[in-house]
Every structure is written in structure tokens, then in C-alpha cells.
Amino acid sequence: MKLGATANRAARRFISSLPALFGVVVFTFLLMRVLPGDPAVFFASGPQAGPEEIAMIRAQMGLDKPVPQQLLLYLRDLSQGQLGRSLTTGQPVLVDLRNRLPASLELTLTALLIALVAAVPLGVAAALRPGSLVDHIVRFVCALGVCVPTFVSGLLLIYVFYYLAGLAPDPTGRIDIFMSQPPRVTGFLLIDFAIAGDWEGWQAAARQLMLPALTMALFVVAPLARMTRASMLASLGSDFVRTARSLGLSRRKIVVTYALRNAILPVLTIVGIVFSTMLGANVLVEKVFSWPGVASYALDALLSSDYAPVQGFVLLMASIFVLVNLTVDVLYGVADPRVSVE
């Protein structure tokens, strides 16, 4: 019954997000068509390429047709699951994205996990003693955290942990070039190494992941902790907590079972928003750490006016975004059964 209601709500949300996704596709397509520079010239054999060769490449890329027709062709390809071909790597964009997406997801999810593990206890601790030293420290860290750009904190972490302390490995890529890759199962190196039982490799990959994940986590701890604190304060001040106290329940039961469970809903909302900002911040972090993810792939393509990868990337990001919002929506129902009763 409850499950059905949740599924129903998720389905409704999904359908209502389809127009926005379609809008993203069209908008990105048009945006890419005004990119300066002619990709046909860019990808011709050389500066000496004759007009015939350029015309041939244009025809091959479908650039000689009017823009509305190009859009229709693109939509037709899209409906067949084809995102076009990257001109820089020569691979279908779908293959490239599939190869590189695990790197980005592994980074983003690890960062989100670190951030949540740090932020929720911090927020709770601050809310339990408002006005105390802990509270002030948490608020100060929050105020500061949103002000440091990810690319600066990433570089400073490299300076401290790689140059000064020597704890972190050379900050380029997911794994040392001399290390052997694990057999590819999921594409997540930590999982693949674990499956292969290669714990030395697992450690190497984890060490490589540490700094970029920390960089991104630092960036999102602030909004998460701030929201936890605010909603925890509201929840601790409510009647049911007062009642629980008057009944003499244990402090742990009051704080964790009653107050936190009720305070978690706004935090979930923020997690959705935070995830979307992390997708954007990925571009910067992947650039700083030469991380071979989808964002750095799209950035390289963008700088060499290669349409297809950028379109595919933006579509992928928007889809992930929609998916995350759906998940958050479903989790709402789990965290607070009242939401599904409508």
C-alpha cells in the first residue's frame, strides 16, 4: 500500500520532469550550434585541406543541412540511444561516457559520503548546544566553507598532503600509471579491486581518490551541516521532543529516534541540491586532479568545438539530476510516511 503510493509519486514526478529534459536537449543542441569555429575545418586533415574535403566532412557530419532538420536528425538518433561520435577520440560518445562515468560517480559519491558523515554529526552537535563553543565553531566552518572555491582548496590540499606531508600520491588520475588495472566489472576501481581481491591495488586507488574526494566534500559540508543544524533546532524545540523528555526517555532515544528522524527531511532536500552543485564542481575538481571522468572529457571537447560529447554530457548530467531528485523523493516517503499520504 505504502510502497504503491511511493512508486506512484515517483512515477508522477518522473513524467512531470520529462518536458524539462526535452527542453535541456533542445536548448543544448541550439547552444552547441552557435559555438564559434567550424568543426569541419577543425577536423579536416590540416591547414591545407581543400574546400572539397571540408565540404565532404560537413556533409559527413550533417552540418550542411538546415538547423531544424539537424535537430530532428539528432532527436531521431537520440531515440535510438545514439549520442553521436566524438571527433577528438573517434569513439561513439555513448561508449566514451560509459567508460568515464564510473570515475566521476566514484569521486562524487565518495565525496558525498564523506560530507554526510562529517556534516550530520556536526550539525546535530551544534544544535544540541546552541550558542556553545561547538555551535560557534560549526557556524564559522560553515561560513568559511562556502567561500573557498573548490579549485583553490584542491590545490592547497595537494600542497599540504603531497608536497609537505608526502602522504598523498602524485595528484594525477585515478591510479598510478605503473599499477595494473583490475579486471573491469563495475568501473568503480574500489569495487573492482575488491572483487579481484587485490588489496594492494585497492589501497593505491583509495589513496589516489582521497584528495579529490576530500576537496569536493569540503565544498558541500557547509550547506549540509547548516541545514542539519537548523532543522535539528526546530525539531528539538517541538512539542513531541518536550513530551519525550517529560516521559523520561533516554537522551539517545530522544535525539536520534525522535528529533533526528524528524529533522532529516529538509536535509534530504538539500542533499538533492548539493548533488547537483557537485556535478558542476566535478568539472573543476577533475581538472585540478587530472581525473579521467566525464566532466574533464566534456571540457576538452568544449574547448575544441566538438559538439556531440558536450551534448551527451549535458544530457547525462540533466538525467542524473532528475534521477537524484526522484531518489530523494522516494526517500522522503521512507523518512517520513506522512509525505506519501496525499
Cβ proximity to other proteins, 254 vs 316, nearer residue = 316
Residue 183 found at the interface with other proteins (CB under 8 A): no
Stretch that binds other proteins, among 103-111, 112-120, 252-260, 316-324 (CB under 8 A): 316-324
Residue 88 found at the interface with other proteins (CB under 8 A): no
Which residue, among 61, 94, 64, 14, has the nearest Cα to 311 in the 3D structure?
A: 94
**Of the residues 314, 328, 329, 332, which one makes contact with other proteins according to CB under 8 A:** 314
Cβ proximity to other proteins, 174 vs 202, nearer residue = 174
CA distance 302 to 313: 10
Cβ proximity to other proteins, 54 vs 310, nearer residue = 310
Cβ proximity to other proteins, 102 vs 154, nearer residue = 154
Residue 276 found at the interface with other proteins (CB under 8 A): yes
Which residue, among 284, 256, 272, has the nearest Cα to 327 in the 3D structure?
A: 272
Cβ atoms of 265 and 231 within 8 Å: the answer is yes
Residue 232 found at the interface with other proteins (CB under 8 A): no
Residue 67 found at the interface with other proteins (CB under 8 A): no
Cβ atoms of 271 and 328 within 8 Å: the answer is yes
CA distance 102 to 292: 10
**Of the residues 158, 209, 213, 255, which one makes contact with other proteins according to CB under 8 A:** 158
CA distance 298 to 96: 10
**Of the residues 78, 155, 241, 268, which one makes contact with other proteins according to CB under 8 A:** 155
**Of the residues 322, 326, 330, 331, which one makes contact with other proteins according to CB under 8 A:** 322
Stretch that binds other proteins, among 85-93, 127-135, 146-154, 188-196 (CB under 8 A): 146-154
Which residue, among 84, 65, 19, has the nearest Cα to 322 in the 3D structure?
A: 19
User: x/- site string to other proteins, residues 21 to 50, per CB under 8 A?
Assistant: x-xx--xx--xx-xxx--------------
Residue 126 found at the interface with other proteins (CB under 8 A): no
Cβ proximity to other proteins, 202 vs 321, nearer residue = 321
Residue 151 found at the interface with other proteins (CB under 8 A): yes
Residue 156 found at the interface with other proteins (CB under 8 A): yes
By CB under 8 A, the residues from 288 to 307 that bind other proteins are: 288, 295, 298-299, 302-303, 305
Q: At what angle do helices 67-79 and 2-33 cross, to 10 degrees?
A: 150
Residue 214 found at the interface with other proteins (CB under 8 A): no
Residue 230 found at the interface with other proteins (CB under 8 A): yes
- Binding residues for other proteins, rule CB under 8 A, total 55
Stretch that binds other proteins, among 14-22, 63-71, 205-213, 240-248 (CB under 8 A): 14-22
Q: How far is CA 106 from CA 198, 199, 205, 206, 265, in A?
A: 18, 18, 11, 11, 25
Residue 287 found at the interface with other proteins (CB under 8 A): yes
CA distance 242 to 295: 48
* Contacts to other proteins by CB under 8 A: 17, 19-21, 23-24, 27-28, 31-32, 34-36, 143-144, 146-153, 155-156, 158-159, 162-164, 170-171, 230, 276-277, 279-281, 283-284, 287-288, 295, 298-299, 302-303, 305, 310, 313-314, 317-318, 321-322
